[in-house]
Amino acid sequence: MSRAPARAPGAALRGAWGSALRGLRWCARQVDGTDRWEEHLRECAEHGHRPPTRREFERRRADARAGAVSSRCC
């Protein structure tokens, strides 16, 4: 009967840290809009459009949010 290969000492801890760092990176990308930006670049490439600059993209997003009825409190 074969045994599973022995893991190096601390491998579980490194795995946990790696998982935590990946989660933190995902959260940061969600907050700063990097995922939405990269998705927009992919869509522009698929349709053959010249993408706007990141600044233009964020300005349009902010304008769209400000104009949405649900974004205001009153």
What single letter denotes the amino acid at residue 17? W
Per-residue pLDDT tens over the stretch 27-71: 998 888 898 999 999 999 999 999 999 999 999 988 888 877 765
What single letter denotes the amino acid at residue 29? R
- For residue 3, the model assigns a pLDDT of 67
pTM for the full model? 0.58
34-47 and 11-32 are packed helices; what angle lies between their axes, rounded to 10 degrees? 70
- For residue 9, the model assigns a pLDDT of 62
- For residue 17, the model assigns a pLDDT of 85
- For residue 57, the model assigns a pLDDT of 93
- The string of DSSP letters for the chain reads -PPPPPPPTTHHHHHHHHHHHHHHHHHHHHHHTHHHHHHHHHHHHHHTPPPPPHHHHHHHHHHHHHH-GGGS--
